[in-house]
């Protein structure tokens, strides 16, 4: 009688309602329909405990057909997700000014252009920043998270133990309104839990599922992502934020070997994850290449095509920190579907180009309008885009030229409302008869972004050189760019971003110097860096500390580029350290007052 009330060990649905069931020799119970796919593929092991069966359920031809339906007509196998928290309860917590959720500003390259002069490709920085973590923490949108974990044979032992520990941390830090589904894959994929709310009971169930994972055979990344897509696509209810975490330590055993026969890495990605332009996309897939033997090109392609980040976890022991940083962002999503619109204000002003990285941008045929699809931002997260515009000769009586007007539309994740935001000020340049020396001082904000964009472009150029085997050229490109970063105005002024960027370029230069080093870690480091810079989002990339020490020219703790306070706090929690705000008081390099430190040294304190 007790066995009849146990849930199905695959879908966790009730064994009731007249559905055919199968009880295995290991005592785990399944719906016949749920186990059909495993048996149809010849698997004779329990998907929960991996016990080998001597007897398997007998399936009719119709049952076998149901196990492998056409993708377009597949029935909703996973429409058993837990209920979500009513939207009204989340929205009621937001009573403030919703327009404060995103601030958009413009910075001109120079404050003035001579009245009788024109400028081609005059730079204007468009800067967008989401509301801070304090506002987001008061009422954040709940998360639907699907973790897709490699349990192939190469994950045996320490690797799998580290992943289980990291997953325990993730589960502990999800809230009761968040939902989690655990998917594992080896030769084929298995859904270990339905999309469960992370109540105390849900957390206990998820932890049991994670602890039951065992290594087994080959690596079928595509099947793991197909199951993740079905979980999110079949669910009856949806939270405002959805995301997938994919971890793998190896190369796909199914699609990748057939790449020479017209297959590509994109064949690993279900179409529902890669909708054009990001709109209508099911969820971003954040990929984690675990150790030195993963397929960095495949993992980067999956992330890039879905709007996710690619992280290289070279130091396997740091996987929990990498997951922590990722979920620190996912649990603080403040803005979705953000779109910045640019309209030229004065006659003769034209937009010529936009440097937007991995964000889709458009310039109108006449150059009078442009847009950038920004998408999703975490709390405190920033996006910077360089616009290059033509500034015409001014009229004889014109004291100032209005260049562009900015506006932005986004969806508030908590309320679901669409918000329209106008920039605080238009981009304007003064038009004196002659420019003064002060008028020729370049904006540090604009120059800082120019340095970042040029470094990002050179990383891509160096990677292309390394891929064709010209490692000396790759190293030389990175060396020259590092020297340019250090010699730039913000670099000479001690800008933190430039310091971090120069250190990264130094490290990458070492990684591309020869083929063995590039194959071992260089390619993955380059792709992870390109992913992070292209999205202006911190990745969970880790590295060997010895290499980092060779590159760092300052005795200061390293902070990841683009990391938000919420990300930093979650990493601190993973390491059982004080949060960043407390660490700042302990000395330089953590945001403390460097001038006061210098004074202390001079006075002998």
Per-residue pLDDT band for 135 (boundaries 50, 70, 90) equals low
The model's pLDDT over 439-481, given as tens digits with 9 standing for 90+, comes to 999 999 999 999 999 999 999 999 999 999 999 999 999 999 9
Residue 600 neighbours by CB distance under 10 Å:
12
Print the domain residue range for 526: 445-545
Give yes or no: residues 317 and 225 share one domain. yes
pLDDT at 432 over 60: yes
Mean pLDDT of 493-507: 94
Q: Are residues 321 and 409 in the same domain?
A: no
Does 571 fall in a domain? no
The string of pLDDT tens digits covering residues 305-359 is 999 999 999 999 999 999 999 999 999 999 999 999 999 999 999 999 999 999 9
Give 3-state DSSP helix, strand, coil % of the chain, rounded to 5.
40, 20, 40
Mean pLDDT (whole number) for 126-151: 85
* Range in 26-35, 123-132, 257-266 the model is least confident about: 26-35
One domain for residues 215 and 276 = yes
Average pLDDT of the chain?
Answer: 84
Domain shared by 291 and 244, yes or no: yes
The last residue of one of the domains, among 545, 579, 598, is 545
Is residue 218 domain-shared with residue 350, that is, in the same domain? no
pLDDT band at 543 (very low <50, low <70, confident <90, very high): low
In terms of DSSP bridges, do strands 179-185 and 143-150 run parallel, antiparallel, or are they unpaired?
Answer: parallel
Within a domain: 303: yes
Is the domain of 465 the same as that of 539? yes
Secondary structure class of 508 (helix, strand, coil): helix
- 30: domain CATH number is 3.30.40.10
Asked whether residue 182 falls in the same domain as residue 273, the answer is yes
- Return the pLDDT at 593: 41
Confidence of residue 579 (pLDDT cuts 50, 70, 90): low
Residues 158 and 205 in one domain: yes
Q: Are residues 187 and 308 in the same domain?
A: yes
- Please check whether residues 283 and 315 belong to one and the same domain: yes
Is the separation of the CB atoms in 345 and 405 below 8 Å? Answer: yes
- Residue 580: the pLDDT is 65
148 and 218 both lie in a single domain: yes
Give the model confidence (pLDDT) of 164-189 as tens digits.
Answer: 999 999 999 999 999 999 999 999 99
Which tops the pLDDT comparison, 75 or 468? 468
In the chain, the number of structural domains is 4
Give 194's contacts (C-beta < 8 A, 6+ positions apart): 11, 12, 13, 78, 80, 81, 82, 181, 231
Classify 592 as helix, strand or coil: coil
CA 219 – CA 156 distance, rounded (Å): 13
Strands (E), 152-231: 179-185, 189-191, 196-197
Spatial separation of the C-alpha atoms in residues 352 and 336, rounded to whole Å: 27
Q: Is the confidence at residue 24, as pLDDT, over 80?
A: no
327, 340: one domain: no
């Amino acid at each position: 009688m007790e066995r009849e009330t146990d849930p199905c060990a695959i879908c966790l649905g009730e064994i009731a309602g007249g559905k055919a069931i199968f009880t295995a020799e290991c005592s785990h119970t399944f719906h016949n329909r749920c186990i059909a796919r495993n048996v149809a593929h010849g698997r004779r092991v329990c998907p929960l405990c991996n016990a080998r069966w001597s007897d398997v359920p007998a399936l009719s031809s119709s049952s076998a057909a149901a196990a492998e339906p056409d993708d377009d007509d597949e029935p909703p196998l996973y429409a058993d997700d837990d209920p979500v928290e009513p939207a009204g309860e989340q929205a009621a917590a937001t009573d403030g000014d919703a327009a404060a959720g995103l601030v958009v500003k413009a910075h001109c390259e120079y404050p003035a252009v001579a009245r009788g002069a024109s400028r081609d490709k005059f730079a204007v920085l468009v800067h967008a920043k989401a509301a801070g973590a304090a506002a987001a923490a008061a009422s954040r949108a709940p998360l639907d998270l699907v973790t897709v974990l490699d349990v192939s044979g190469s994950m045996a032992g320490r690797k799998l133990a580290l992943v289980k520990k990291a997953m325990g941390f993730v589960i502990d830090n999800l809230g009761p309104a968040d939902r989690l589904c655990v998917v594992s894959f080896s030769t084929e994929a298995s859904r270990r839990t339905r999309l469960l709310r992370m109540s105390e009971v849900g957390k206990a169930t998820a932890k049991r599922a994670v602890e039951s994972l065992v290594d087994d055979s080959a690596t079928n990344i595509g099947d793991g992502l197909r199951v993740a897509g079905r979980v999110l696509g079949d669910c009856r209810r949806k939270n405002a934020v959805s995301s997938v975490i994919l971890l793998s330590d190896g190369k796909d055993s199914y699609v990748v070997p057939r790449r020479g026969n017209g297959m590509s890495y994109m064949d690993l990605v279900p179409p529902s994850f890669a909708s054009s332009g990001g709109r209508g996309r099911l969820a971003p897939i954040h990929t984690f290449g675990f150790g030195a033997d993963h397929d960095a090109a495949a993992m980067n392609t999956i992330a890039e095509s879905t709007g996710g980040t690619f992280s290289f976890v070279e130091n396997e022991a740091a996987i929990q920190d990498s997951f922590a940083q990722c979920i620190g962002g996912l649990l603080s999503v403040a803005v979705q579907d953000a779109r910045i619109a640019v309209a030229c204000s004065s006659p003769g002003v034209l937009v010529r180009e936009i440097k937007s990285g991995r964000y889709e941008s458009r310039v109108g045929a006449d150059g009078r309008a442009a847009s950038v699809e920004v998408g999703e931002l975490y709390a405190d997260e920033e996006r910077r885009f360089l616009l290059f515009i033509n500034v015409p000769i001014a009229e004889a009586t014109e004291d100032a030229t209005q260049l562009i007007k900015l506006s932005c539309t986004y969806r508030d994740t908590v309320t679901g409302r669409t918000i329209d935001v106008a920039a605080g000020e238009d981009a304007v340049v003064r038009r004196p008869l002659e420019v003064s020396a002060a008028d020729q001082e370049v904006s540090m904000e604009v120059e800082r972004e120019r340095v970042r964009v040029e470094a990002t472009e050179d990383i891509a150029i160096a990677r292309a050189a390394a891929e064709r085997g010209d490692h000396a050229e790759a190293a030389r490109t990175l060396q020259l760019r590092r020297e340019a970063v250090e010699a730039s105005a913000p670099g000479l002024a001690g800008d933190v971003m430039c310091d971090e960027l120069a250190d990264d370029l130094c490290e990458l230069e070492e990684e591309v110097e020869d083929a063995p080093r590039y194959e071992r870690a260089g390619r993955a480091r380059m792709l992870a860096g390109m992913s992070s810079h292209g999205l202006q989002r911190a990745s969970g990339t880790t590295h060997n500390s010895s290499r980092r020490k060779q590159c760092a020219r300052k005795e200061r703790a390293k902070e990841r580029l683009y990391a938000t306070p919420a990300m930093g706090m979650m990493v601190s929690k993973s390491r059982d350290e004080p949060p960043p705000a407390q660490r700042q008081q302990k000395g330089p390099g953590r945001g403390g007052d460097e001038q006061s430190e210098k004074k202390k040294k001079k006075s002998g304190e």
